[in-house]
Amino acid sequence: MKDFSYLRAASAEEASRAAQQAGAMLLAGGTTLLDLAKCGVTEPDTVVDITRLAGLDTINVGEGGLTIGALATMSAVADHPEVKTQFPAIAQSLSLAASAQLRNMATIGGNLLQRTRCAYFRDPQAFPACNKRAPGSGCSALGGVTRNHAVLGTSEKCIATYPGDLAVALVAFDAVVDLGTRQVPVDDFFLPYGEAPERETLLQPGEIIRGITVPASVAARQSVYLKVRDRQSYEFAAASAAVGLELEADGRTVSDIHVALGGVATKPWRALAVEQALIGKALDADLVRSASRLSMEGAVSHGDNAYKIELAPRVVARAILQLAPSLGDLA
């Protein structure tokens, strides 16, 4: 690891100013930053520690919805009683992520900004070509081992999966990122890869995530985060789905539905096509399954990851069916 200087910021303004300097990086829980520094992927000159900033670790559930400070830990949010009941998909997305030790260290702001697990991205010595790390250098993953790579949102430049879980639930429920001077919907916060995979978010140098707000809704209250992976715990998603569902009084007709996918796309992936196919419809299992397939519109496989195209719609369908118990024990 390269030598760096360390600055403990006393205020958000100080942190922001320091972080604008070239080579400066913010440090929250450090579970992404240090990990990547050890791989030689990030080499900060200055690390600006924001963990002592006051007032950024609050969690509030009110009439309007949920607000989470950027410095709240993953475990604090996951275990928050009202988050668990009012926003179950959000609590679950966190408790199913990483390990207990990591969740105790890691913050919500840092969580959004975690980087891809693409093995080529993380091994600069052996694989110099990586457009995300070194723009224009090429993509080592293409033609390599791609079991965990994305099938949605990829470009010729990069096929790396966005690995996080929380952001998937946030995208599903129209959360907004609070950057202090501006408020950005999470879905816009994460950029599509296109030509510039090195640009992953709208965040500008020196901008600090202050927090996240999630509007209250019936669908958010009746939600689930379903994460599928080979290992029972402590693994990133092979495919995951955040789903919220509001049904009419008949218990079958969809009045509101939110669907997003994780583990399969280059950014947290809202599946509007699935939502549109089901809204206003009376659910049955076949309908749910066929509508869930729409989530894979435009999906491209790269060999090893072809299974995701089959798996992800099944995860979406199961998540929806779990929320509609009147359809019988289909889940």
Ligand X SMILES: Cc1cc2nc3c(=O)[nH]c(=O)nc-3n(C[C@H](O)[C@H](O)[C@H](O)COP(=O)(O)OP(=O)(O)OC[C@H]3O[C@@H](n4cnc5c(N)ncnc54)[C@H](O)[C@@H]3O)c2cc1C
**Footprint of ligand X (CB under 6 A):** 25-33, 35, 50, 70, 74, 97-98, 102, 105-107, 109-111, 113-114, 164-166, 208-209, 236
* Positions in 107-136 near ligand SF4 (CB under 6 A): 116, 118, 120-121, 130-132
Q: Residue 1 binds what, of ligand SF4, another protein, ligand X, none (CB under 5 to 8 Å, by partner type)?
A: another protein
Instruction: Extract the tokens encoding 134.
Output: 């070194």
Residues 142-161: x where in contact with ligand SF4 by CB under 6 A, - otherwise, as a string? ----------------xxx-
Residues in region 20-49 near another protein by CB under 8 A: 40
Q: Using CB under 8 A, which of 11, 282, 298, 307 touches another protein?
A: 307
**Residue 198 is a binding residue for another protein (CB under 8 A):** no
Report the C-alpha gap between 59 and 69 in whole angstroms.
Answer: 6
**Residue 195's CB: how many other CB atoms inside 10 A?**
13
Binding partner of residue 107 among another protein, ligand SF4, ligand X, none, CB under 5 to 8 Å per kind?
ligand X
**CB nearer ligand X, residue 67 or residue 277:** 67
Q: Are 190 and 209 in contact (CB under 8 A)?
A: no
CA–CA gap between residue 51 and residue 239 (Å, rounded): 32
Q: Does residue 285 sit in helix, strand or coil?
A: helix
Longest pairwise C-alpha distance within the chain:
63
In whole angstroms, the minimum distance from the beta carbon of 199 to ligand SF4 comes to 12
Nearer to ligand X, 34 or 272 (CB): 34
Overall residue count recorded for the chain in this entry: 331
Place of tokens 């996918």: 261
- Residue 74 or 317: which CB sits closer to another protein? 317
Indicate which of ligand SF4, another protein, ligand X, none lies near residue 320 (CB less than 5 to 8 Å, by partner kind).
none
Rounded CA-CA distance 91/119 in Å is 28
Contact yes or no for 44/4 (Cβ under 8 A)? yes
d(CA 165, CA 258): 16
Among 12, 46, 137, 144, binds another protein (CB under 8 A): 144
Q: Which residues pair with 158 in a beta bridge?
A: none
Sign of torsion over alpha carbons 168, 172, 175, 176: positive
Q: How far is it, in rounded angstroms, from Cα 128 to Cα 268?
A: 27
Positions in the binding site for another protein (CB under 8 A): 1-3, 40, 117, 119-120, 123, 125-126, 143-145, 147, 228-235, 238, 306-307, 310-311, 314-315, 317-318, 329-331
Q: Site residues (CB under 6 A) for ligand SF4?
A: 116, 118, 120-121, 130-132, 139-141, 158-160, 197
